[in-house]
Structure 1
Amino acid sequence: MKGSKYRNFVVLIFFIFMLLHQTDKLLINPMAAQIYAEWGLTDTQWGAISTAALVIGAVFYPLWGYLYDRFSRGKLLSFASFIWGATTWLSAIAPTYNTFLITRASTGVDDSSYPGLYSLVADYFSPEKRGKIYGLLQLTQPLGYMAGLILATTLAVTAGWRDVFFITGGLGILLSIVIFFTVKDIPRGTSEPEFENIEEVGNFRFEWSKVKDVFKKKSLIYMYLQGFFGVFPWNTITAFVFIYLSDERGYLESEVLMTMAPAILILALGYPVGGMLGDHFFKKSKKGRVLVAMTGVLMGAILLFITLNSPVDNKLAFGILLAFTAFFIPFASPNVTSTVNDIALPEIRSTALAIQYFIESSGAALSPLITGILADTLRKSNDPSPRGTAMLLICISTWILCGLFFFLTSRIITKDINDLHDKLGERAKLAKSRS
């Protein structure tokens, strides 16, 4: 398989990997009631499970980024898939809450393995096409959430949550074998327009001095700052929305599924739409992606406030508003990934993305735990909807901050993108002179 056919095949493999991995990662939240009941958990203990995995993921991001920029990205991704399967199996046999907390935290090791996947995509597709590819791949997150929801309300009810983890872990190990033998690396920078008619792109090597230059890019600094707050909302909502719907809005299990399923499908649509809009406006202006991302987070804040304050007894209105909110939530995600690749040199893109995700996870790791502590505190003060109030406070405050950082990025990003292509142009001239 060569050319476009092989490129599309790799995207398909990545899509399957991310879909199954996200299903495994997000499956725990729809099964919250079973796990709460088994060990009699508090909201703080439940929040600690997600936080522990996010902390481990954050710690491993820099290591994954460095390894991806030095060695074969395909082989490393295969190893990450094996780790996913093995750690999920350990979670399935955990006998106590404390051991489950430890084994579930260990799943964070492979959760931080995406930077190499995204940098490999950047070498297969030109800058004008990356947004929609990232959007396509990232819609696996809500689709995985949906798959997890279906498994939790069907198979987990009859077989138990442990057997479900055995199945998803086994799929991770099987997929690691497929990736090992089918996904190949390609020279870094291959898809950049400066190298379009050059057969030998060259072997641009990772250097620590180039990583230091990342922190000299003002637009990347703003992107990293927004990243610290940017995934607070997602981790807060995924950790608590199911228990919020059942306990504070009085939904039955069937009603939770009927409410969340349309919202998740609309959320999935938001990823490729956000990516395509980013590509469209990027062609018109280098700041186009960032402005699309800013629109997404601000609309999410406004609509979530309206949604969670809608009447409890009007379930139809709540469902419609939740779907509208869900559509805008993912707009930023594919555009953030594309923007980092628009600015960083090809040979350090995995590291640049790893820094982005390390900072995101460093902040997001606190999100479920903070939300749980806040909800428990609000409950003591007789708040009628402690989980709903906690989610609103966390999500709206962080989205507003993200909007501010995206605005600041839009003021300076054109220069940083132009600087990158000036350097690539110099490399292209040197490559031509050698050929």
Structure 2
Amino acid sequence: MSEIAMMHTPRSGYRWFVIAVFFCFMLLHQADKLLIGPLTPAIMDEFGITMTQMGAVTTGALVVASILYPIWGYLYDRFARARLLALASFIWGATTWLSAIARTYPTFLAARASTGIDDSSYPGMYALVADYFGPNLRGKVYGLLQLAQPIGYLIGMVLALMLAPQIGWRTIFFFTGGLGIVVALVILLGVREMPRGKAEPEFEGMTEMARFRFSWAEMRAVLGKRTMWFVFLQGFAGVFPWNVITYWFFTYLARERGYDESSILLTVAPVILILASGSFIGGVLGDWAFKRTTRGRIIVSSIGVLMGAIFLYLAMQTPVEARTTFFVLMCLTALFMPLSSPNVIATVYDVTVPEVRSTAQAVEYFIENSGAALAPLLAGIIADMYNLQTAITWICVTAWALCFMFYLGALRYIERDHHALRDEMGRRAASFRQTMA
């Protein structure tokens, strides 16, 4: 921390320009990534494969992403995050094109697995955002960014339903891959790096600050925090429902509930819009609760997973002919399901020092995907043995019940670990002021 970084405070308008760029990156990237769900029936028909084989396609990409999370996280904490994000966007475009030209199932499986390389690039983006916005605003900003995931899924679904039958699923991949190249150029030319820790309240008003460098000792200290243990555990279980619903729900509606393409669009589109709003609502509620108690984000998260499990179970038990009841229950599921997502990210940064935040977030995502990478394949196996209703219901409900228990554990330690971070930031700011005096 001996080097000095100049503290150029970005104008408010520029900060929101950066958020707009990152929102577009996430929106288009998620649309490309999640296209595989709505396109699953067409891809299965072309290659003549089973649900288990199709589940392996998604699992392959998730396994690659899981392996690369720690590597991306370490690189983000060592080098310029904006440039690495531009590289990730370029890789997104290139690997999607490889998927479009694959002509056999084995080559498509390999090409689709390669798309996982850039799927593990988000920790650097979230860490960079944390240096533009202070702790009391991060939940809202992360919630705003995470609006992009469900809206991206909706865009992907529209592309799959409206355009793919006319121009083919391969052309859709060529189109979304090209957008990745464009976004890479925008990030490279338009997004500036920020000094790590710049937005921490202890450094407010300072024109210079120490340049924090990655430290293995600090990383080991993060891994020793009890709050992070429970964050890791809930992450392992918490992504199972997202991956199962994302990659199999479209097929479930078509094959087990008898929905045609227009019925699927009319049912899923409102649900996705509510899901999108749930991310932002969760961030707002988390920030509101955090200002009142450091346990606030965890409380909001625990309510989200509990209510999401209850409403999803009720929806999946609804008879096929009761479409209105099913729709209402899925809307309620969609409202509660994403409440925890922005709050988990903000919680990680509430207890970790700036120079290891990307790595800490990457480790959390690595643990998430290490388990959840198996979710699409596991769902496919259960669906082949029983049906998709059974697969979706029991994987999701079991995972969310475990998350609720892990959040109760995090509630016990979050206050201590949060105050420890604030004390450390205060000591660093005081030490630097003495050095500069």
Counting aligned pairs with the same residue, the percent is 54
1:2 Cα shift?
A: 3.8
Structure 2 residue 398 is matched with structure 1 residue 390? no
Q: Distance in 2 between matches of 1:157 and 1:53?
A: 25
**Could you say what secondary structure the match of 1:61 adopts?**
helix
Q: Which residue of 1 aligns with 2:190?
A: 182
Query: Offset of 1:233 from its aligned partner?
Result: 0.1
Q: What's 2:5 paired with?
A: none
**Bigger shift: 129-138 or 209-218?**
209-218
Measure the CA separation in 2 of the matches of 1:305 and 1:9.
Answer: 40
Equivalent of 2:295 in 264, 287, 290? 287
Within-5 A mapping of 1:364-379: 364-378=372-386
**1-structure distance, mates of 2:383, 2:169:** 25
Deviation at 1:129, TM superposition (A): 0.2
- Separation in structure 1 between the aligned mates of residue 391 and residue 41 of structure 2, nearest angstrom: 19
* Aligned counterparts, 1:49-128, within 5 A: 49-128=57-136
Query: For 1:77-99, what per-residue CA distance to the aligned partner results, in whole angstroms no more than 9, with x for missing partners?
Result: 00000000000000000010110
List per-residue Cα deviations over 1:274-299 (Å, max 9, x = no partner). Answer: 00000000000000000100000000
Alignment of 1:323 onto 2:314: no
| Residue of structure 1 in register with 2:141 after alignment | 133
Question: Does the alignment pair 1:424 with 2:432?
Answer: no
1:168 to 176, 183, 188: 176
State the secondary structure of the residue aligned to 2:136.
Answer: helix
Kindly report which structure 2 residues correspond to 1:395-410, keeping only aligned pairs within 5 A, or say none: 395-410=396-411
Determine the C-alpha separation between the residues in 1 that align with 2:90 and 2:24. 15
Measured in 1, the distance between the counterparts of 2:385 and 2:14 equals 54
Measure how far apart 1:214 and its partner are.
1.4
CA contact (8 A) 1:198 1:431 kept: no
> Is 1:206 paired with 2:214?
yes
Deviation at 1:374, TM superposition (A): 1.1
Q: Aligned ranges for residues 271-282 of structure 1 at < 5 Å? A: 271-282=279-290
Return the match for 1:342 from 323, 335, 350. 350
Give the 3-state SS of the residue equivalent to 1:124 in structure 2. Answer: coil
CA distance, structure 2, for counterparts of residue 376 and residue 154 of structure 1 = 29
Q: Which amino acid aligns with 2:274?
A: I
1:200–1:431 CA contact under 8 A, matched in 2: no
Q: Does the 8 Å CA contact 1:198/1:432 hold for their aligned counterparts?
A: no
Whole-Å Cα distance in 1 between the matches of residues 275 and 206 of structure 2? 40
Equivalent residue, structure 2, for 1:227: 235
Aligned pairs (5 A) from 1:13-24: 13-24=21-32
Counterpart secondary structure, 1:412: helix
Cα pair distance change 1:126/1:2, threshold 3 Å: closer
Cα offset for 1:211? 1.0
Structure 1 CA distance, aligned partners of 2:425 and 2:53?
50
- Is the aligned partner of 1:151 residue 2:152? no
Q: CA deviation at 1:342?
A: 0.5
- Give, in whole Å, the separation in 1 of the partners of 2:320 and 2:103: 38
Structure 1 stretches of 4+ with a deviation exceeding 4 A read none
Amino acid at match of 2:405: L
The 2-side partners of 1:120 and 1:8 are apart by 13
Give the counterpart letter for 1:330 in structure 2. Answer: P
Report the Cα distance in structure 1 between the residues aligned to 2:290 and 2:281, rounded to whole angstroms.
14
Deviation (angstroms), 1:317:
1.4
1:235 Cα deviation (Å)?
A: 0.3
Amino acid at match of 2:388: R
Tell me by how many angstroms 1:197 deviates.
Answer: 2.0
CA distance in 2, matches of 1:88, 1:348: 31
Deviation at 1:401, TM superposition (A): 0.3
- 1:434 aligned partner: 435
Q: Deviations over 1:253-310 (max 9, x none)?
A: 1111111001000000000000000000000000000010000000011000100111
Aligned length in residues: 428
Paired with 1:2 and 1:405, the residues of 2 have a C-alpha distance of 38
Q: Deviations over 1:131-173 (max 9, x none)?
A: 0000000110000000001000111110000000000000001
The Cα offsets for residues 161-220 of structure 1, whole Å up to 9 and x where unpaired, read as 000000000000111111111111111000011111222121011011111111110000
- The DSSP-based 3-state class of the residue aligned with 1:312 is coil
Aligned-pair CA distance for 1:52: 0.4
Alpha-carbon distance in structure 2 between the residues aligned to 1:78 and 1:263: 32
CA displacement at 1:42 relative to structure 2:
0.7
